[in-house]
Amino acid sequence: MIQGHCLCGNIHFETEATPQGASMCHCGQCRRQSGGIWSSAHVKDTELTITGEVTWFAASPKAKRGFCAQCGSFLFWKAPDEDTISFALGAVSNPTGVTLQKHIFVADKGDYYQIADDVPQKA
At residue 6, the pLDDT reads: 98
At residue 94, the pLDDT reads: 87
Question: Is there a domain that residue 115 lies in?
Answer: no
- Indicate the DSSP class of residue 29: H
Question: Is there a domain that residue 116 lies in?
Answer: no
Q: What is the pTM of this model?
A: 0.94
Question: Is there a domain that residue 46 lies in?
Answer: yes
Question: Is there a domain that residue 123 lies in?
Answer: no
CB of 53 within 8 A of CB of 11? Answer: yes
CA 21, distance to chain mean position in Å, is 11
CATH for 96: 2.170.150.70
Strands (E), 69-111: 74-78, 84-88, 102-104
Domain count, the chain: 1
Per-residue pLDDT of the chain (123 residues; tens, 9 = 90+): 999 999 999 999 999 999 999 999 999 999 999 999 999 999 999 999 999 999 999 989 999 999 999 999 999 999 999 999 999 999 999 899 999 999 999 999 999 999 999 999 999
At residue 120, the pLDDT reads: 97
Question: Is there a domain that residue 104 lies in?
Answer: yes
Residue 104 domain boundaries: 2-108
